[in-house]
Structures are given as structure tokens and as C-alpha cells.
């Protein structure tokens, strides 16, 4: 065990990536980076993190802002509940913890968006306290290192991995050790074609010894991918564009959007869009012009989004909102001030790049 620890720590000292939140290990930086890294690749997170810190250099600056601005900065990262939770947490910290992150695991767990993993990451990486963390990278490393013949999602296997991670934790070096394990999974013990020849723990790797690395970790089908077709349309009225703000609960809560939705069986995209406008706003639209189709993903869904321009059928503009909390009529240039879900943002970018309405 000692040798595994030492090899990993030495390797990390020489190979750790120069990441912005590793400069000072400030609890605020670690917290924001960990929330961003949930569900998002490191490469994308770095840009967002740097932009975030320019706009919100500390917890107090978040509390002085509005949720709308936070969502705008988060636009494109997906899983927007993360951004809303940061906003809520910052305000709780201001009111109950003197504007600082608490240094106790159980208090961290009470904050919105902070679960066992994130609390452990903050405790170990920011405060260097002895807390174990297990993420997908660590699961993969351990499944190979200990040649685990069952899926890492299996209850006993999961438990075994946590136990091993705790056993391996070196006193006083938690910060480096937890990161070393994750870094090993990200750079060396990668999902496909792991780089065993340069691995600092290859001497102890049981699946390498048994020549079954390619079979580890055991993969089971967890969530299936669902392909769906959707339609949306930008309604122009007297030179302005209709946008509506989604309700505060549910998917894409509080984000802005153009009306639209899923195609029902037998519907063309045009039929679906006319129906969705009527259902969501009671507006009768017509003169649909197909602009493009964009692809995007959210949770398990892979979406083909049919994008249109449209106008009112009879010039009667009396929207009644059924799925949104408010609407606005905005100039095309103002669209950049609002946060939209990824598919709608791609549609806007397409219109901008092709010079269609800007």
C-alpha cells in the first residue's frame, strides 16, 4: 500500500496539470471547479471557470448579482440546476456562514448542490482534510488495479472501492493523493487504450498482470440514449422577437426560449410548431420558413431540433402564457443578453452567422 501511495504522489508531483483552481486551492475556487466538473469535460470547464472568476471573483460578488446573470454565464454548460444551486448556496453562506464555505463535512452537505462527493472534494482538496472521494476516474482505476469482475455500479463493488480508497489515503497528503488518483484516471488509466507503460502503479495492477485490462471496468448498460425530434420557431412581430422565460421549476428552469416542443406521432415539424405555439401562448402562427436543423443533447436525449422563422397568422398579438412565467419582445441584438438552452443558442448563432435577422 505504502508503495502505491508513494508512486502516485511522486507521479502527481511531476505530472499534475496546471489548472487554474490548483494555484491557491482556495475553497471558493475548489467549490466552483467541482460543481462545473460534474457532468462536464475538463477542457470545457477551464474556459468557463476563468470567465466565471473574472465576473465573480468571490462569494460576495455572487450574492450581489442576479440569478439571470449567473445563468447567462453558465449558458452552454448544461445542467443549469448547478448554476442555480451556486447562487442559492452563495446567499446561504452570506446569511449563515459569514460568507465563507464551512470547514465541516456535514455542514457542506446541507448546501444546495453539494453531495457526498463534492463535500469530500472540498474537504480534501481545499482543506486537506482526510476525506475520501470516488469519481468515475477513480472507479475505473480501482476496477483495473484490483481487477474487479463486477460493474463499479454493483453495490458491493462500489463499497469495496470506497474502502480501498479510504485504506490508501495517506495522512496529511489527502489533497495531493485524491487528485493524483483522479489525474491518473484522466491522463494514464484512460477509458480506451490505457497507457500502462507509463503508469506509476503498473507493478501493482492486477488486471495488467492477468492481461484483462481491456475487460475492466465491467460495463453494464445503464441509461439508454433516446433520440427525439423537436421544433422551435422565432416569431417576429413588428421587427421584434418573441421570447419567453421558463417556469422556475423543471428542466431549463428560468432560462429564456422560443416556444416549441416535441413532434407527436404523425406530425411534421411545421404542424408541431403551430400546435406548440397555440398550446403554450395561444398565438396563431403562420408563414413558417425552415431555417436549419441543429443537434444537441441533454440528459439521455439526443435532439434534432427543426428551426423556423414565423409570424402571426392574423396579426393579433395577445399572448396568454401556459408554460412560461413572462415574455418579452426584444430586438435581435438583445438576444445575446439572455440565457437560452443549448439548442436555441445554436439556432441564434446560426442566424447571426448567416446574417438572416441580425
Where in the sequence numbering do the catalytic residues fall? 34
Stretch that binds ligand SF4, among 46-54, 59-67, 205-213, 246-254 (CB under 6 A): 205-213
Closest to 309 measured CA to CA, from 327, 343, 285: 285
We find the least distance from the C-beta atom of residue 215 to ligand SF4, in angstroms, to be 11
Contact 234, 305 (CB under 8 A): no
The residues in 287-326 that bind ligand SF4, with binding defined as CB under 6 A, are none
Nearer residue to ligand SF4 within complex by CB, 165 or 235 = 165
Angle, in degrees to the nearest 10, between helices 27-37 and 81-96: 160
Q: Give CA 95 to chain center in angstroms.
A: 27
To the nearest 10°, the Cα dihedral for 190, 191, 195, 199?
50
Determine the Cα–Cα distance for residues 345 and 337; give it in Å rounded to an integer: 12
Give Cα separations from 230 to 263, 287, 314 (angstroms).
5, 19, 25
Give the x/- contact pattern for ligand SF4 in 69-98, rule: CB under 6 A: ------------------------------
We find the least distance from the C-beta atom of residue 203 to ligand SF4, in angstroms, to be 8
Determine the Cα–Cα distance for residues 325 and 169; give it in Å rounded to an integer: 49
We find the least distance from the C-beta atom of residue 211 to ligand SF4, in angstroms, to be 11
What SS3 class is residue 85?
helix
- Which one of residues 101, 168, 188, 272 is an interface residue with ligand SF4 (CB under 6 A)? 188
We find the least distance from the C-beta atom of residue 227 to ligand SF4, in angstroms, to be 33
Nearer residue to ligand SF4 within complex by CB, 33 or 202 = 202
Give Cα separations from 208 to 12, 148, 205 (angstroms).
21, 12, 5
217 binds ligand SF4 (CB under 6 A): no
Determine the Cα–Cα distance for residues 116 and 38; give it in Å rounded to an integer: 13
- Which one of residues 62, 126, 208, 305 is an interface residue with ligand SF4 (CB under 6 A)? 208
- Which one of residues 124, 202, 232, 254 is an interface residue with ligand SF4 (CB under 6 A)? 202
Determine the Cα–Cα distance for residues 110 and 209; give it in Å rounded to an integer: 43
Stretch that binds ligand SF4, among 1-9, 64-72, 206-214, 265-273 (CB under 6 A): 206-214
205 binds ligand SF4 (CB under 6 A): yes
147-151-154 Cα angle (round to 5): 120
Determine the Cα–Cα distance for residues 273 and 250; give it in Å rounded to an integer: 21
We find the least distance from the C-beta atom of residue 208 to ligand SF4, in angstroms, to be 4
Determine the Cα–Cα distance for residues 283 and 274; give it in Å rounded to an integer: 9
Stretch that binds ligand SF4, among 196-204, 264-272, 285-293, 303-311 (CB under 6 A): 196-204
We find the least distance from the C-beta atom of residue 149 to ligand SF4, in angstroms, to be 15
199 binds ligand SF4 (CB under 6 A): yes
The Cβ of residue 295 has, within 10 Å, a number of other Cβ atoms equal to 11
The residues in 108-147 that bind ligand SF4, with binding defined as CB under 6 A, are 141, 144-145
Contact 241, 312 (CB under 8 A): no
Residue 96 belongs to what H/E stretch?
helix 81-96
We find the least distance from the C-beta atom of residue 198 to ligand SF4, in angstroms, to be 8
Nearer residue to ligand SF4 within complex by CB, 141 or 241 = 141
Nearer residue to ligand SF4 within complex by CB, 137 or 244 = 137
Stretch that binds ligand SF4, among 60-68, 188-196, 227-235, 343-351 (CB under 6 A): 188-196
Determine the Cα–Cα distance for residues 257 and 236; give it in Å rounded to an integer: 14
Nearer residue to ligand SF4 within complex by CB, 7 or 232 = 7
**Binding residues for ligand SF4 (CB under 6 A):** 141, 144-145, 188-189, 194-196, 199, 201-202, 205, 207-208, 213
Amino acid at each position: 500500500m505504502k508503495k502505491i501511495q508513494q508512486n502516485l504522489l511522486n507521479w502527481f508531483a511531476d505530472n499534475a496539470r496546471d489548472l487554474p483552481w490548483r494555484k491557491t486551492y482556495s475553497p471558493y475556487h475548489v467549490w466552483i471547479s467541482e460543481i462545473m466538473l460534474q457532468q462536464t469535460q475538463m477542457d470545457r470547464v477551464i474556459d468557463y471557470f476563468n470567465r466565471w472568476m473574472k465576473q465573480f471573483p468571490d462569494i460576495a460578488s455572487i450574492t450581489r448579482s442576479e440569478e439571470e446573470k449567473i445563468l447567462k454565464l453558465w449558458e452552454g454548460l448544461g445542467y443549469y440546476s448547478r448554476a442555480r444551486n451556486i447562487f442559492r448556496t452563495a446567499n446561504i453562506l452570506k446569511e449563515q456562514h459569514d460568507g465563507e464555505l464551512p470547514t465541516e463535512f456535514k455542514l457542506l452537505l446541507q448546501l444546495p448542490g453539494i453531495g457526498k462527493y463534492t463535500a469530500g472534494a472540498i474537504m480534501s482538496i481545499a482543506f486537506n482534510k482526510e476525506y475520501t472521494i470516488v469519481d468515475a476516474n477513480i472507479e475505473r482505476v480501482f476496477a483495473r488495479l484490483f481487477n474487479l469482475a463486477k460493474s463499479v455500479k454493483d453495490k458491493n463493488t462500489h463499497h469495496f472501492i470506497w474502502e480501498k480508497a479510504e485504506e490508501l489515503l495517506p495522512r496529511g497528503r489527502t489533497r495531493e493523493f485524491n487528485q493524483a488518483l483522479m489525474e491518473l484516471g484522466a491522463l494514464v488509466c484512460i477509458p480506451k487504450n490505457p497507457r500502462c507503460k507509463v503508469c506509476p502503479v503498473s507493478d501493482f495492477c492486477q488486471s495488467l498482470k492477468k492481461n484483462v485490462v481491456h475487460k475492466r471496468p465491467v460495463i453494464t448498460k445503464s441509461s439508454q440514449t433516446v433520440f427525439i425530434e423537436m421544433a422551435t420557431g422565432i416569431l417576429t412581430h413588428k421587427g421584434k422577437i418573441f421570447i419567453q422565460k421558463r417556469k422556475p421549476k423543471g428542466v431549463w428552469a428560468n432560462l429564456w426560449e422560443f416556444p416549441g416542443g416535441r413532434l407527436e406521432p404523425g406530425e411534421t415539424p411545421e404542424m408541431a410548431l403551430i400546435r406548440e405555439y397555440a398550446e403554450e401562448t395561444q398565438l396563431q402562427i403562420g408563414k413558417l420558413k425552415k431555417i436549419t436543423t441543429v443537434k444537441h443533447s441533454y440528459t439521455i436525449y439526443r435532439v434534432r431540433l427543426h428551426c423556423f422563422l414565423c409570424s402571426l397568422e392574423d396579426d393579433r398579438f395577445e399572448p396568454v402564457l401556459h408554460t412560461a412565467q413572462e415574455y418579452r419582445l426584444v430586438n435581435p441584438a438583445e438576444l445575446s443578453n439572455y440565457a437560452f438552452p443549448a439548442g436555441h443558442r445554436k439556432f441564434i448563432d446560426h442566424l447571426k452567422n448567416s446574417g438572416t435577422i441580425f
